[in-house]
């Protein structure tokens, strides 16, 4: 698959009827999802990430929840040195193949890790990205704080996620409200650590067989002075 359409992680999990835990996809679920040789998502970068990353010179980047590494590979093609982290080994293997096909594999370091436990180096990255990491807020908040602490002086954190309004007014995305969150939630959490430059709701065009539909995302860009 090679389209300009942006995708996010929106598979249907197998329900665990004996559990009262919120909806979530576990490592084995994602490895099953990525077991097919084809790429699940677009191999092109997220358009908002592309737009914002082009505004700063290449340096060292950390791509959290990298998936099949479409964003990490694009960043590497722009001269970034990228650490791409995901807990699906099979997704990262696909990312490795994509990086090799684009001749940027030497610029990408792949890390298989669960973000609920992964601790990045502090103040080490010029760009930290989180694109469609959809988790319940109590799990997400510590990850966001560690991501913020990883931003180097003068560096940027960029988060793009499905907005709660997408459930009722947007196209695609998870159908589980507990894994959706707003730009205000993210900005409030990050403000003590980073300077918030943008926190907004976006409409993202999605091209479908029935014409163009619109997904609703939240975007937060923050910088360390």
Between CA 201 and CA 161 the distance in angstroms is 10
Element containing residue 77 per DSSP (H, E):
helix 70-77
Between CA 32 and CA 82 the distance in angstroms is 26
Counting every residue written for the chain, the total comes to: 225
CA distances for 2 relative to 45, 117, 124, 210, angstroms: 11, 33, 33, 19
pLDDT band (50, 70, 90) for residue 2: very low
Q: Give per-residue pLDDT as tens, 47-99.
A: 999 999 999 999 999 999 999 999 999 999 999 999 999 999 999 999 999 99
User: DSSP for 156-208?
Assistant: EEEEEEE-TTHHHHSSSS-S-GGG---HHHHHHHHTTTSEEEEEEEEEEEEEE
Question: Exposed/middle/buried for 196, CB within 10 Å: 0-12, 13-18, 19+?
Answer: middle
Residue among 42, 110, 47 nearest 76 (CA): 110
Q: Give per-residue pLDDT as tens, 115-140.
A: 999 999 999 999 999 999 999 999 99
Element containing residue 130 per DSSP (H, E):
strand 125-131
pTM here is 0.87
């Amino acid at each position: 698959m090679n389209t300009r359409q942006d995708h996010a992680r929106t598979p249907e999990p197998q329900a665990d009827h004996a559990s009262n835990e919120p909806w979530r996809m576990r490592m084995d679920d994602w490895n099953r999802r990525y077991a097919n040789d084809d790429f699940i998502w677009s191999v092109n970068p997220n358009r908002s990430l592309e737009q914002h990353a082009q505004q700063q010179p290449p340096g060292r980047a950390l791509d959290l929840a990298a998936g099949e590494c479409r964003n990490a590979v694009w960043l590497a093609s722009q001269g970034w040195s990228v650490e791409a982290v995901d807990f699906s080994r099979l997704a990262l293997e696909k990312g490795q193949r994509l990086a090799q096909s684009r001749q940027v594999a030497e610029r990408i370091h792949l890390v298989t890790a669960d973000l609920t436990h992964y601790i990045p180096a502090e103040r080490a990255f010029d760009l930290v990205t989180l694109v469609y990491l959809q988790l319940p807020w109590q799990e997400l908040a510590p990850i966001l704080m560690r991501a913020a602490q990883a931003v180097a002086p003068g560096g940027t954190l960029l988060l793009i996620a499905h907005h709660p309004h997408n459930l009722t007014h947007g196209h695609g995305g998870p159908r589980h409200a507990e894994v959706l969150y707003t730009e205000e939630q993210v900005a409030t959490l990050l403000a003590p650590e980073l300077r918030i430059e943008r926190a907004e709701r976006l409409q993202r065009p999605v091209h479908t067989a029935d014409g163009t539909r619109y997904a609703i995302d939240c975007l937060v860009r923050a910088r360390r002075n």
